[in-house]
Copies of this chain bind each other. A is one copy, B any other.
Amino acid sequence: MSLDAEPIFPHELRDAWPALSRDERVESFKLVPHATADDFFLSLSAQEQAELILLLAPGERRTWMRLLAPDDAVDVVQSVAPQNRDALMSELDETTRREVLALLAYAEDDAGGLMNPRFVRVRPEMTSDEAISYLRKQTREKVETVYYAYVLDAQQHLLGVVSLRQLFQAAPDKRVADVMSRDLITVSEDTDQEAVSRLFSEHGLMAIPVVDAEKRMKGIVTVDDIVQVVQEEATEDIQKVGGMEALDAPYFEVGFLAMLKKRAGWLLVLFLGEMLTATAMGHFEEEISRAVVLALFVPLIISSGGNSGSQATTLIIRSLALSEVRLRDWWRVMHREVLAGLALGAILGTVGILRILIWQSVFHTYGEHAVLIALTVGVSLLGVVTWGTLSGSMLPFLLRRLGFDPASASAPFVATLVDVSGLVIYFSAAAVLLRGTLL
């Protein structure tokens, strides 16, 4: 790029930032040219902004705190320890401080916690030319986006929205009321952020207005905040699917003990559940001692149930999260998954039977009853995979129905559930098919 050479390019510093020590951050931040320092500062995450501000001398903090829009100031204040919050709040001007205090009252994961109370407003009776000049005036304040102007009556009721593009395209004397869109998508202050992000992704919007019960406008949520939310929600889901509590922070930023706690909890629950396999196996100790060969296929059979259950549960968890599948679809899903389970079980069962018969004909591993053993394994695989697929797909529905997060039906959780029932299926099949021969 044939641009002016500058000491530190903000986006280069941005990339290096996570690797820098506290001192290096302060030093290199001071080297960013004044003209681009704002952009750089705003490109940092709330956590990074907060850390940087606290590292600066109290006299230098004001500029940076005041650069933040109220919703971003809230994020910064929330990401420092409680004893540091007042110090940061006191750097804000009076108006912003009051707005930040109001926003702090909202839950972080609701639309109210994401919204910016400053937006561009116009009156319905303005002409498009008047609206553009009025809008131009408002950009001197710290409005979050100038792309949409919200049309409010004197009581702050939201009547419609007009995009800058619509104003630009309209004849200069056309009234705002005649240009604006009246069919609005709005959210309320307590709409969950996951629902908000779904609206953004379904409708391809740049901003969504937040209104109270009387349709009075409270603020806007913009799409750039939502990209972050979508990432966070997906990360939470992936971590839960992997069988742990959501970490809520990047890997290296979570303390070792905190991370251990989030992982040990679920691992212990799964372990206690898995202990039932020892109990179940204990019931079949007699059969195992008579036909040790049965024990050889235990890992193969229970893990096939676990794997097919993991597939089904992650598939349904994600489909529910994206609203591709809704609670009322459980019946259709069950039909489909039983068929899928039978088909997958038939495939694995056939491969399992072939494996045993081929080994038998080459190595004579399994003795005179190899065909019966192969049949037992094949039938068990059909049963276990069908059952794993069915329970893996239904569990997320059950959890959602009971008011829990479907993502808690993690792959390891389903695998553990299926392990115990898999043993019962296997040894029951053996009891029937091998009676009078091996058993």
Q: Does A66 contact B (CB under 8 A)?
A: no
Q: Flag if B227 contacts A11 (CB, 8 Å).
A: no
- With a CB–CB cut-off of 8 A, which chain B residues contact A164? 146-147, 164
Q: Flag if B185 contacts A168 (CB, 8 Å).
A: no
Which listed residue (B228, B270, B272, B289) contacts A201, Cβ 8 A?
A: B228
Closest residue of chain B to A282 (Cβ to Cβ) is B296
Chain B interface: which of A23-31, A95-103, A134-142?
A134-142
Q: Does A238 contact B (CB under 8 A)?
A: yes
- With a CB–CB cut-off of 8 A, which chain B residues contact A181? 36, 39
Which listed residue (B298, B324, B347) contacts A250, Cβ 8 A?
A: B324
Contact A241:B238 (CB < 8 A) given known A158-B1, A412-B411: yes
A251 to B234, CA, bound (A): 18
- With a CB–CB cut-off of 8 A, which chain B residues contact A4? 182
CB distance from A275 to the nearest CB of B (A): 6
Q: Flag if B135 contacts A168 (CB, 8 Å).
A: yes
Chain B interface: which of A108-116, A257-265, A397-405, A430-438?
A257-265
- With a CB–CB cut-off of 8 A, which chain B residues contact A139? 165, 168-169
Q: Flag if A310 contacts B9 (CB, 8 Å).
A: no
Q: Does A304 contact B (CB under 8 A)?
A: yes
Which listed residue (B42, B204, B289, B348) contacts A43, Cβ 8 A?
A: B204
- With a CB–CB cut-off of 8 A, which chain B residues contact A278? 296-297, 299-300, 355
Tally chain A residues at the interface, Cβ within 8 Å: 132
A298 to B280, CA, bound (A): 12
Q: Flag if A274 contacts B300 (CB, 8 Å).
A: yes
- With a CB–CB cut-off of 8 A, which chain B residues contact A11? 183, 185, 203
Residue-wise interface mask of A (138-166) relative to B, using a CB-CB cutoff of 8 A (1 in contact, 0 not): 01100001110000000001111000110
Chain B interface: which of A53-61, A77-85, A315-323?
A315-323
Q: Does A314 contact B (CB under 8 A)?
A: yes
Residues of A bordering B, CB below 8 Å:
1-4, 6, 9-11, 14, 36, 39, 42-43, 45, 135-136, 139-140, 145-147, 157-160, 164-165, 168-169, 181-185, 197, 200-206, 215, 223-228, 230-231, 234-235, 237-239, 241-244, 247, 250-252, 256, 259-260, 263-264, 266-268, 270-272, 274-275, 277-278, 281-282, 285, 288-289, 292-293, 295-300, 302-304, 306-308, 310-311, 313-319, 322, 324-325, 329, 332-333, 336, 339-340, 343-344, 347-348, 351-352, 355, 365, 385, 410-412, 415-416, 419, 423
